[in-house]
C-alpha cells in the first residue's frame, strides 16, 4: 500500500465537498462533517464525498469534510466541538453527548456490530488465553469494538494481560497481523470484510465480542433542531433510490433508520470507562 501524501491529505479534506465555492455559493450555510478514521484518508474521502454531495442537493447546505489523521485526533476534535456533524463509534457518541451535547440522527438499523480478534491463518493461537503477555495491535485505545471492548474482555472475562500496540487504523492492524509483526489484532467484522483479499485471506478470527448498535451520524448541540431534522431526512431519503443505497452500503449501512442516545446507553454498563484514554 502506497503511503498517502500529507499534502494531498490536507488538500482533499480542506476542500468543500462541492469543490471550491463560486461567489454564488458564498452565502450558503456551510457545516463541517467529521468521520472517524477507521480507514486511510483516500478511502474515507472516496466514501463520503458523494454522500455529502447528495446531502447538499437535498438540503441546500454546504458540507466540508474535516479530516482527522488518527482516531485520537478525531476524539480531541469532537470533544472540543469542532464538528457540526460527524460519523462516530457508539461509545464516542456517549462521550460526545456528554461533552458537547451531540445528538444521534441516523444509524444502520439492519444489523448489530461486534468486535473481533484476528491472528495469522497459520498461527498456533486458537484461544484468547494464549495471548497472555503477547503483543496485540489495535487501531487506537478508544476504538470501541476493535480495542475498548476486547481489552476489557481480556482482563475481565479471560484474566489475561496483553501488550497493546496502537497502529492508527483498522487496515494497519490487519496488515501488522498478516505480516507477523504482532501476535493478534483487534478489529470489527465490517472493516475486515473491506480489506484486500491478499490481506484478509491471511487472517482468521478467534474471538467475537458482545454485540452493539452501529455507528451513528450525530449533530452538535449547537445545530438548530430544524437543521438537524433536514439533514436527518436527507440521509433517510438516500435509501429511496438504488444509487443512494449503494452510497450508504460503502459506509457501510445496510438499512438506514433513526438513531437515539438510548440505542447506546447499554454500553454505559460494560465498564469501559476504565479502558477509555482521555487525551
Domains of the chain plus CATH, in order, are: 7-111+214-275 (3.40.190.10), 113-212 (3.40.190.10)
Answer whether 260's CB lies under 8 Å from 114's CB: no
Answer whether 134's CB lies under 8 Å from 162's CB: yes
Distance separating alpha carbons of residues 171 and 194, to the nearest angstrom: 9
Query: Using one digit for the tens of pLDDT, what is the confidence trace for 121-149?
Result: 999 999 999 999 999 999 989 889 999 99
Q: Which range has the worst mean pLDDT, 50-54, 159-163, 191-195, 256-260?
A: 191-195
Query: Using one digit for the tens of pLDDT, what is the confidence trace for 58-67?
Result: 999 999 999 8
pLDDT at 17 over 70: no
**pTM for this prediction:** 0.77
**Mean of pLDDT over the chain:** 90
Distances (CA, A) of 65 to 14, 46, 169: 7, 11, 18
Query: Using one digit for the tens of pLDDT, what is the confidence trace for 185-240?
Result: 999 988 899 899 999 999 999 999 999 999 999 999 999 999 999 999 999 999 99
pLDDT at 6 over 70: no
User: What is the predicted pLDDT for the residue at 271?
Assistant: 86
Amino acid at each position: 500500500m502506497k503511503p498517502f501524501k500529507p499534502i494531498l491529505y490536507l488538500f482533499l479534506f480542506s476542500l468543500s465537498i462541492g469543490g471550491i465555492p463560486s461567489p454564488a455559493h458564498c452565502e450558503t450555510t456551510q457545516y463541517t462533517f467529521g468521520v472517524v478514521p477507521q480507514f486511510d484518508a483516500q478511502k474515507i474521502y472516496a466514501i463520503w464525498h458523494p454522500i455529502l454531495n447528495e446531502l447538499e442537493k437535498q438540503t441546500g447546505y454546504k458540507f466540508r469534510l474535516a479530516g482527522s489523521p488518527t482516531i485520537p485526533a478525531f476524539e480531541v476534535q469532537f470533544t472540543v466541538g469542532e464538528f457540526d456533524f460527524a460519523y462516530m463509534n457508539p461509545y464516542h457518541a456517549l462521550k460526545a453527548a456528554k461533552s458537547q451535547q451531540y445528538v444521534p440522527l441516523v444509524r444502520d438499523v439492519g444489523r448489530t456490530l461486534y468486535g473481533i480478534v484476528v491472528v495469522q491463518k497459520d498461527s498456533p493461537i486458537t484461544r484468547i488465553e494464549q495471548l497472555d503477555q503477547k503483543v496485540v495491535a489495535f487501531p487506537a485505545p478508544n476504538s470501541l469494538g476493535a480495542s475498548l471492548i476486547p481489552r476489557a474482555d481480556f482482563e475481565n472475562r479471560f484474566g489475561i494481560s496483553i501488550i497493546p500496540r496502537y497502529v492508527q487504523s483498522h487496515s494497519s492492524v490487519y496488515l501488522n497481523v498478516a505480516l507477523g509483526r504482532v501476535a493478534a489484532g483487534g478489529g470489527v467484522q465490517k472493516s475486515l470484510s473491506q480489506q484486500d483479499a491478499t490481506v484478509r485471506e491471511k487472517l482468521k478470527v478467534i474471538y467475537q465480542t458482545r454485540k452493539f448498535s452501529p455507528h451513528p451520524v450525530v449533530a452538535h448541540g449547537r445545530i438548530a433542531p430544524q437543521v438537524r431534522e433536514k439533514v436527518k431526512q436527507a440521509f433517510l431519503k438516500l435509501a429511496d433510490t438504488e444509487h443512494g443505497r449503494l452510497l450508504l452500503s460503502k459506509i457501510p449501512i445496510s438499512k438506514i433508520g433513526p438513531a437515539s442516545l438510548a440505542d447506546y446507553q447499554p454500553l454505559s454498563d460494560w465498564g469501559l470507562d476504565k479502558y477509555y484514554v482521555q487525551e
